[in-house]
Structure 1
Amino acid sequence: MTTNTPPSSPETDNPRQSDHAALQQIPVPLYGPEFAADPHGFYTEMRRKFGSLAPVELSPGIPATLVIGYRTAVQINNDPERFRADPRVWEQDIPLDCPVLPMLQYRPNALRSAGREHARYRKASVDSIDAINLYQVDMTIEQIALAQVNAFCGDGNADLISQYALPVTFAYLNAMVGCPADIGQRVAQGMAMMFEGNDAENGNALFVRALGELVALKRHTPGNDVTTRLVTHTADLTDDELVHQLVTIYGAGIEPLTNLIANTLLLMLIDDRFSGVAALTTRDALNELLFTDPPLANFGITYPPQPMMVDKVWLPANQPVVTSMAACNNDPAIVGQYNGNNAHLAWGTGPHACPAQDVAYSVAQNAIDQLFDRLPEIQLACSPDQLGWRPGPFHRSLARLPVVFPPVREGF
């Protein structure tokens, strides 16, 4: 399967020029440790070689086009007729054990549908999320965060991924959708397997089974939560559709929100601008990170139903076109124009933009503030260049974030 190859022309019929073009079109793998260690170096090199659209592989043998130009990404993501989010034609030829299939495959939800289907699913999700009380979010995160800090504050050291960012995110999402901890644990496990491409097929199955149990629970025992609002919404969603609305919520929540908290904590721990009397705020750090190194680095996936010419590049029909929010935000063509006005693409853009960004922002800000309020002398336990990043084509995710601090007694 060839990526970004135009139809035959006098230029491409020349053997020497064809060999040169083929060499230039070798896809860049996004799934290995090399990319995870230095994605921005890869984006810079891709921009030099390919311009705004780069041929990539999401996993071995799975080609895609990565959008690394800001204006091109805005154009594509706001053109749902020519760039549809429905992957059903593409996935017909994809093996079931493909590591990225669970992240890209069709699901009856707003993220993976188009047209009337998308409008119906989107309204149900937006209405259910918009009913969340943001003031209550602050109170809930304060309770969750304090309990989590109390579990390690006397030790003098911690890993802020496994002991803080992930459990705080996990606990809040469970509270938001009304999910008991035992079901939620299986949801988190399946989601992690899917993002990493580690036994993704079984991870997807685990994920979907757990969410099916949650839907059944809420039909029997409703509550004041997102799942209940989805169950009772006028869209009259089936059980299968309900499960896949929750897939979107958890998928957009667990990994990206954990990474947003952890990566912003790292920025604040290593950058002197966030310490001292005149320090920049947590809000400043979040805004900067969402611009420069967003936690969901490459997503916003569409599938053009026919070959499309964009920026003088032919995009093959029904092959994934993936927006690199990380690369687009750092596009030299726009850097300096948009800084400070939140015009980053970290939340997506167009009809598939994240509907829960206010909630996610509030969770992250409160989680970070609670940690620094409780442990103001916290420091990174190693050199930043000793930190490792988890491989995967979609996320920007630290493997660990070890810290040290003077031990303190549990608070209330």
Structure 2
Amino acid sequence: MDPSPTSHPYDAPTGCPVQHQASLYGPEFAADPHRFYDEARTHGPAAPIELAPGVDATLIVQHEAALRVLQNPALFARDSRRWAALREGEVPMDSPVLPMMVYRPNCLFTDGAEHLRLRKAVTESLARLNSSRLSRDVERIADYLIDQFSERGTADLLNEYAKLLPLLLFNQIFGCPGDIGDRLTRSMSAIFDGEDVLRANAELTECLMELVSIKRRQPGEDVTSWLIQHPAGLRDEELKDQLVMLMGAGVEPERNLIGNALLLMLSGRQPGASDRRGSGMLVEDALDDVLWNNPPIANYATHFPVRDIELNGTTLKADTPVLISFAAANSDPHLTDARQTLSKGAHLAWGAGPHVCPAKSPATLIALTAVEKILNAVPDLALAVPAAGMAWRPGPFHRALVALPVRFTPTPARRTTGGAPQPAAVSAQLSDPYRTAAPAAATPRHSAEQPKKQKGWWSSFLDVFRV
């Protein structure tokens, strides 16, 4: 049942155990998640939640309890085939959260020896990324995206920059040809936004299997080829799902980290603070502040208790989804000393235990380079609306802006746009920045020339930067 406008989605009588199940997908939660975390934490280490209509789970909201779950794989498994409600048909198969929770044979959803085998392939392939080349790739993509809006003097830095940059970068890292990259960009963005997820998931699977087939025949200097060549001997299905995992763990968190850091640095005052000025912060400090206070992935790391487990007075039922609230753990009052110094080693934004993020270093480098690049390229960036008026995208997993509108002094584009949406057209496309085909104009019957399909973002980028 939806809360009334005057109630909080997690209200409970003072001093009583929490009885109400909170919705984590509505606008009330997105507008003020920390109010929910504070309320939930007063009643124990865990809270019953609804991730989407018909999808129930438990959310861990205390730091110490989060570490107990994350660091104890013998009691808390990651294999979602254990999910009792899903096995019994109680979860809608078109639920928007399923792509983020359903089992895939990758290192995110496996345990034990199988997890070690897959994780080793991923970590050793990622270790082959050259940091200097990665920085150059980020700068090149950033230049291309900035060119799309530099002449307008206005932009939405979330949808036109932070959202597109990691998607295009992963096309580069994976070694995607133009058409596959366009489809990958379109399908992955649809999954993140919960739009037609069954179709998007099918398209994602199809284009990644095509990519694996191509790279088996023609390997290159890219993560896809390195995974294929790894001694773990991954099957095509496993290869595809490691790539899905890498994109899922990289694209959404990266765009939110970039967007939230830019909001902080462009704000007159940093969110949640009393005296520090966002405009005077170093980029490194802004990123760390976001990881503490608005972590890009706020609630995730789904575990399944192997049996009924008592956690600080709360019973976690066997084979039910238990998620970690990184945001709530980071704001736990017991971390007062660490929060006062924003100690980099104490927050849980990168996870903990055997499933800790394997790409912390490259992810930090990407965000740092992306934020520095836009601030240096457009030095008079200013928010077009007050920071307090920014809308946050509903959803249980992320802490994500809807948009980040800015204004600045227009400057000429430095490169041709190679067939990408032109600056005058981009502003009309913000609701669908991943569109790969413009609406076809009517073609006269006597004309033999058919309307040309507009290229997608990755194909257009390749037209400018042949890589």
Please indicate, yes or no, whether the TM-score normalized by the shorter chain is above 0.5: yes
Q: What is the correspondence of 1:95-114 to structure 2 with a 5 Å cutoff?
A: 95-114=92-111
Cα 1:385/1:337, change in 2 over 3 Å: closer
Give the one of 173, 188, 195 matched to 2:185: 188
CA contact (8 A) 1:291 1:346 kept: yes
Q: CA separation in 2, counterparts of 1:79 and 1:316?
A: 16
Q: Does 1:266 align with 2:263?
A: yes
Pick which of 334-343 and 55-64 moved more.
Answer: 334-343
Give the one of 100, 115, 119 matched to 1:118: 115
Task: Return the offset for 1:212.
Answer: 1.1
Task: Return the offset for 1:328.
Answer: 0.6
Task: Return the offset for 1:83.
Answer: 0.4
Task: Return the offset for 1:118.
Answer: 0.6
Instruction: Give SS of 1:337's match.
Output: helix
Q: Deviations over 1:40-79 (max 9, x none)?
A: 111112112x222111111122111101111111111010
Task: Return the offset for 1:185.
Answer: 3.0
Give the one of 60, 78, 93 matched to 1:85: 78
Q: CA separation in 2, counterparts of 1:180 and 1:306?
A: 46
Instruction: Give SS of 1:65's match.
Output: strand
Which residue identity lines up with residue 60 of structure 1 in the other structure? P
Cα 1:181/1:264, change in 2 over 3 Å: farther
Which residue identity lines up with residue 344 of structure 1 in the other structure? H
Instruction: Give SS of 2:56's match.
Output: strand
Partner residue in 1 for 2:446: none
Q: Does 1:74 align with 2:67?
A: yes
Partner residue in 2 for 1:407: 410
Q: Does 1:370 align with 2:364?
A: no
Give the one of 218, 221, 225 matched to 1:224: 221
Q: Deviations over 1:73-128 (max 9, x none)?
A: 11110101100100102131234222212211111000001111111110000010
Instruction: Give SS of 1:400's match.
Output: coil
Task: Return the offset for 1:187.
Answer: 2.5
- Give unmatched runs, 5+ long, in structure 1: 1-18
More helix by share: 1
Instruction: Give SS of 1:346's match.
Output: coil
Task: Return the offset for 1:411.
Answer: 4.2
Q: What is the correspondence of 1:7-406 to structure 2 with a 5 Å cutoff?
A: 24-48=18-42, 50-90=43-83, 91-93=86-88, 94-271=91-268, 273-275=277-279, 279-337=280-338, 339-406=342-409
CA contact (8 A) 1:287 1:342 kept: no
Q: CA separation in 1, counterparts of 2:15 and 2:122?
A: 45
Instruction: Give SS of 1:111's match.
Output: coil
Q: CA separation in 2, counterparts of 1:347 and 1:319?
A: 23
Q: CA separation in 2, counterparts of 1:58 and 1:44?
A: 18
Q: CA separation in 1, counterparts of 2:50 and 2:126?
A: 34
CA contact (8 A) 1:32 1:391 kept: yes
Instruction: Give SS of 1:322's match.
Output: strand
Which residue identity lines up with residue 329 of structure 1 in the other structure? N
Instruction: Give SS of 2:337's match.
Output: coil
Q: Deviations over 1:166-190 (max 9, x none)?
A: 2211121111111234323322333
- What RMSD, in angstroms, separates the aligned Cα atoms of the two structures? 1.9
Q: CA separation in 1, counterparts of 2:82 and 2:103?
A: 9
Pick which of 402-411 and 337-346 moved more.
Answer: 337-346
Moved over 6 A (4+): 19-23
Cα 1:167/1:192, change in 2 over 3 Å: closer
Q: CA separation in 2, counterparts of 1:32 and 1:153?
A: 35
Q: CA separation in 2, counterparts of 1:38 and 1:149?
A: 31
Q: CA separation in 2, counterparts of 1:259 and 1:165?
A: 7
Instruction: Give SS of 2:358's match.
Output: coil
Q: CA separation in 2, counterparts of 1:225 and 1:203?
A: 24
Which residue identity lines up with residue 30 of structure 1 in the other structure? L
Instruction: Give SS of 1:24's match.
Output: coil
Task: Return the offset for 1:142.
Answer: 1.5
Q: CA separation in 2, counterparts of 1:166 and 1:210?
A: 20
Q: Deviations over 1:157-215 (max 9, x none)?
A: 00101211122111211111112343233223333333333332222222222211111
Which residue identity lines up with residue 371 of structure 2 in the other structure? I
Pick which of 205-214 and 83-92 moved more.
Answer: 205-214
